[in-house]
Chains A and B, each alone.
Chain A
Amino acid sequence: DSGVTQTPKHLITATGQRVTLRCSPRSGDLSVYWYQQSLDQGLQFLIHYYNGEERAKGNILERFSAQQFPDLHSELNLSSLELGDSALYFCASSVVASWSYEQYFGPGTRLTVT
């Protein structure tokens, strides 16, 4: 158990809909990262938040957004969903000012868009 929690575990929705994925980082970690993993693309970095502020963006679509709240949990919002958005979504957290950049991953949310 990494100490990172994600809900829900599974999500099935229709095209055009909007969903919210939730992540709680390990106790004491201020950084939260979101990743998308699909069979053909591997693990793709989406966005990084540190202590409530956006720090970096990766391959995140404009239809996707995220935020980190004062209690440090984070939410990833996916809107106008398309079939191609079906994937595993992971969040990870890390220690502040970690020189080694180690990240600890949650169990993921499997999103299926039908």
Chain B
Amino acid sequence: TQLLEQSPQFLSIQEGENLTVYCNSSSVFSSLQWYRQEPGEGPVLLVTVVTGGEVKKLKRLTFQFGDARKDSSLHITAAQPGDTGLYLCAGAENYGGSQGNLIFGKGTKLSVKP
């Protein structure tokens, strides 16, 4: 069974600070997604990374996929209160070579204070 470990579990910072959250596994994933979830709502897809070593930027958010496709990181520059939420990473699990289900980490709960 493939598992994704996210760290830290909780993060509370001041507006303007930078932060990095991590997503690690002992397994190789064909792709990895990052989602952001607000309380009582469904996760919203932020980005998908597919190629080992890939870096994607979404405004102040930078996502990186590890060279071996086993880990990923999310870096936020100059965090804002609107960045507050639960950040989830999810790895695509293959079965039979066809479209598979996602394995989710337990998430990093980020709180950005004004």
Contact = CB atoms under 8 A, between A and B. Distances in A.
Contacts of A107: 41-42
Given A56-B100, A56-B101, A101-B92, A2 B42 contact: yes
Interface string A86-114: 00101010101111111111111010000
Nearest to B106: A42
Given A42-B105, A100-B92, 11 more contacts: A2-B44, A31-B99, A45-B103, A55-B99, A88-B40, A96-B99, A100-B48, A101-B100, A104-B45, A107-B41, A108-B42
Interface residues of A, number: 32
A42 B107 contact: yes
Contacts of A31: 99
B86 to A, nearest CB: 9
B43 A94 contact: no
A100 B49 CA distance: 8
A-B residue pairs, 9 tightest by C-beta: A105-B42, A101-B92, A42-B106, A43-B104, A100-B48, A45-B101, A105-B43, A100-B31, A48-B101
A14 to B, nearest CB: 23
A52 B101 CA distance: 16
Interface of A: 2, 4, 31, 33, 35, 42-45, 48, 50, 55-56, 58, 88, 90, 92, 94, 96-108, 110
Contacts of A44: 104
Contacts of B42: 2, 4, 90, 92, 105-108
A58 B101 contact: yes
19 contacts: A4-B42, A33-B101, A42-B104, A43-B43, A44-B104, A45-B101, A45-B104, A48-B101, A55-B98, A88-B40, A96-B99, A99-B31, A100-B31, A101-B31, A101-B48, A102-B48, A105-B35, A105-B42, A105-B44
A43 B88 contact: yes
B30 interface: yes
Contacts of B103: 45
